[in-house]
Structure 1
Amino acid sequence: MGSVFSSQGKQPLFSFGVISDVQHADVPDGRSFVGVPRYYRHSILVLQRAVQKWNNHKKHKFVLNFGDIVDGFCPRHQSLNTVRKVVAEFEKFDGPVYHMIGNHCLYNLPRNKLLPMLKIPSDDGRAYYDFSPTPEFRFVVLDGYDISAIGWPEDHPNTLEAVKFLQEKNPNTEKNSPEGLVGLQRRFLKFNGAVGKEQLKWLDGILQEATEMRQNVVICCHLPLDPGATSKEALLWNYDEVMNVIHSYNCVKACLAGHDHKGGHSIDSHGVHHRVLEAALECPPGTDGFGYVNVYNDRLSLIGTDRMESTELHFNLQADLRQNLAK
């Protein structure tokens, strides 16, 4: 860890704001399936305070929103206006906001309505893309609901593939129930999804390019990609396939996600950090859950507010060393 000290005290290369699972709705407070309180009306206040704080810092290059900006309990006739209302709060940030889609977004609006509202660059309704805020870094936003039983038209090939997949993997009539499913099989639930073959191929190409350009990569997805950082019920269906692509390169330093509201952090067998962000929705009135990340050459430093835990994500420099020696 000697290299840690080299960047201590240095100015970060850049920083960015983070928030996840706002899940706003104009409905009374409720509870999750397992009884955790949820504050549907309060969550937009958390977002407002986040935007205010990010703007006050005057240093954040962009904001990443990890999905689920509106809740499934939002009455359908209010869906469009609720999404508009939340997006309007994000737009008060002085800079770009990069969104990803979550299951709750898709309960409320179909992709063709949702993606333009979130300004997600889309090809054929898909919601994956990448951007480079500085030459040294690249951010890759995955679409975890590429193959999904929600969000696509009912007769869409991606819906049909997902429905068939769930029939095979989950024998329960209620496809959001993990009852009887063992261990990692508990992820085969309707509120999760998968990264399709085309997207996997695209990811491989992006990581190849990033390696050639010697860029550090941060992967962002609503759904978590490592069992060590999340409950089994919240994982991407084919997280293992995605991680196989990621692990065939050394450029990915961290995978950030939402979805599992309690948050989590792990370092996988290849030294890649997985940080699942705590949900804004579960902040009791008067508390907050958002943060910002300072980016250095050798680490990401997440500075959390209140219920979002601060975390240091030190890069696996041994892997970089091996890669450079191999060249």
Structure 2
Amino acid sequence: MEDRARALFSFGIIADVQFADIDDGTNYRKTRRRFYRNSVALLRDAVRHWEETRVNCVIQLGDAIDGHNKSRDASEQALDTVMAEFEKSSVDVHHVWGNHEFYNFSRETLMASPLNSAGKAGAGSDRAESDLIADDIYAYEFSPAPRFRFVLLDAYDASVIGRDASSEKHQQAMKLLQKHNSNADLNTPPVCGLEQRFVKFNGGFSAEQLQWLDRVLTLADQRQERVTLFSHLPVHPDATDPICLAWNYDELLSILRAHKSVAIFISGHDHDGGFCTDASGVHHITLEGVIETHPDTNAFATVYVYEDQMLLKGNGRTADRVLKYP
């Protein structure tokens, strides 16, 4: 691999910590082991590694704590435990929101919580130029270094778990979900192909968020920036199991393909991880989930950014990758 000392900057990524102070359990289908209590120990190791390698920032890709905390009235305590580890980082940690955030907290509560990291965009944000997004959509962008831009997306902007039941967005999401999924339990997927994505634990991007993203990417094109996007939900069928795809992944892909600035798309949610490079040369990375990672290994990565490529250095279950720009 290329000399890391020559990198322009570096950043850490981690997904699906899903901490809960409970004994090991299984996934929804009872086919996979989950290490609820140990996940925070793996996070601690990741943060320690990033401090030693002196990354410029960290991106947490969603599902910081597990939904089991809600029924135990332990949501706040679990979040405090996880945030205490992230606070050991000397650099900014940017948080994406996943389905488990919404199992534990309302959108209003999340907006006022430490998981709202939009304020860390600071002077590197062009929100004024790309038009402010609505206050109830958790998406923002910033420049971590000259000629590079990061965009964090709200994959539960259009969903039934990420919206209050009385809201128009919730009602629209429920109609869409029931149109494609006739099961009594809406977390049970439809049987065929990509339709499996229409489950309650997924969501999508509203028209307003997609329009905002288009404006952000247009500005990045004009400035000849390289853009990396982050979302809890994957948006490319070849980078994930269909059951983990965003509902309107095709609409988002259409926008990405219209902009030459887009280089990388990084997501979580599918604990097995995944990877593909699409026809336009954009790399789609789905990061392995910490929650299903055995205590004797780990699942996180450090990404080193160069003029012509990014080098992803994986740890444990996460493989190394060379990511040439399109």
Return the TM-score normalized by structure 2.
Answer: 0.91
Identity of matched residues, %: 40
Q: Say whether 1:120 aligns with 2:131.
A: no
Q: Match for residue 106 of structure 2?
A: 110
Aligned ranges 1:13-28 → 2 under 5 Å = 13-28=8-23
What are the ranges of 5 or more consecutive residues in structure 2 without an aligned counterpart?
119-132
Q: Match for residue 146 of structure 2?
A: 135
Q: How far did residue 91 of structure 1 move?
A: 1.4
Q: How far did residue 151 of structure 1 move?
A: 2.7
Indicate how the Cα distance of structure 1 residues 166 and 9 shifts in structure 2: closer, same or farther if over 3 A, else same: closer
Q: Match for residue 295 of structure 1?
A: 305
Q: Match for residue 64 of structure 2?
A: 69
Aligned ranges 1:1-327 → 2 under 5 Å = 11-34=6-29, 35-57=31-53, 59-76=54-71, 77-117=73-113, 118-121=115-118, 123-180=134-191, 182-316=192-326
Q: How far did residue 286 of structure 1 move?
A: 2.4
Q: Is the 8 A contact 1:80 1:109 kept in 2?
A: no
Q: How far did residue 315 of structure 1 move?
A: 1.2
Which runs of at least 4 in structure 1 moved beyond 6 Å after TM superposition? Answer: 7-10
Indicate how the Cα distance of structure 1 residues 292 and 9 shifts in structure 2: closer, same or farther if over 3 A, else same: closer
Q: How far did residue 75 of structure 1 move?
A: 3.9
| In 1: Cα distance, 2:87 partner to 2:219 partner | 31
Q: Is the 8 A contact 1:141 1:220 kept in 2?
A: yes
Q: CA-to-partner distance for each residue in 1:130-176, whole Å, 9 max, x for gaps?
A: 01011210001110000010132110111111111111111111111
Indicate how the Cα distance of structure 1 residues 141 and 289 shifts in structure 2: closer, same or farther if over 3 A, else same: same
SS at match of 1:60: coil
Aligned partner of 2:83: which letter? Answer: V
| In 2: Cα distance, 1:179 partner to 1:214 partner | 42
Q: CA-to-partner distance for each residue in 1:73-119, whole Å, 9 max, x for gaps?
A: 22441011211221121111111000010001110111111233213
Q: Is the 8 A contact 2:189 2:243 kept in 1?
A: yes
Aligned partner of 2:290: which letter? Answer: A
Q: Is the 8 A contact 2:93 2:117 kept in 1?
A: no
| In 2: Cα distance, 1:296 partner to 1:141 partner | 21
| In 2: Cα distance, 1:168 partner to 1:16 partner | 40
What are the ranges of 5 or more consecutive residues in structure 1 without an aligned counterpart?
317-327
Q: Is the 8 A contact 1:256 1:274 kept in 2?
A: yes
Q: Is the 8 A contact 1:109 1:151 kept in 2?
A: no
SS at match of 1:270: coil
Aligned partner of 1:126: which letter? Answer: I
SS at match of 1:112: helix
| In 2: Cα distance, 1:83 partner to 1:9 partner | 33
Aligned partner of 2:38: which letter? Answer: H
Q: Is the 8 A contact 2:190 2:198 kept in 1?
A: no
Please give the root-mean-square deviation of Cα atoms over the aligned residues, in Å: 1.5
| In 1: Cα distance, 2:39 partner to 2:65 partner | 10
Return the TM-score normalized by structure 1.
Answer: 0.91
SS at match of 1:131: strand
| In 2: Cα distance, 1:309 partner to 1:205 partner | 33
Indicate how the Cα distance of structure 1 residues 167 and 315 shifts in structure 2: closer, same or farther if over 3 A, else same: same
| In 1: Cα distance, 2:258 partner to 2:134 partner | 26
SS at match of 1:284: coil
